[in-house]
């Protein structure tokens, strides 16, 4: 059974999140190349306004 996130230090959690983001970027880049060039966009946002800028 895995460790609960609450018991991890903030530095470890940030590295895990960075790894997840890198993996997601690679996954969506691959999906664009294989199936729908430039139809799928993956980005990371830290606010609702940033999300709205991207979806417009």
Q: What is the pLDDT of residue 24?
A: 93
Higher pLDDT, 41 or 49: 49
Pairwise CA distance, residues 7 & 5, whole Å: 5
User: Nearest-CA neighbor of 40 among 53, 27, 51?
Assistant: 27
Q: What is the pLDDT of residues 12-34, one digit of tens each?
A: 778 888 999 999 999 988 988 88
Q: Phi first, then psi: give them for residue 39, nearest 5 degrees.
A: -90, -20
Q: What is the pLDDT of residue 43?
A: 83
**pLDDT averaged over the chain?**
80
Q: Is the model's pLDDT at 38 over the cut of 90?
A: no
């Amino acid at each position: 059974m895995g460790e609960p996130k609450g018991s991890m230090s903030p530095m470890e959690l940030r590295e895990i999140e960075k790894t997840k983001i890198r993996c997601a970027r690679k996954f969506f880049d691959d999906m664009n190349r294989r199936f729908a060039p430039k139809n799928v966009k993956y980005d990371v946002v830290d606010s609702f306004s940033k999300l709205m800028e991207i979806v417009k």
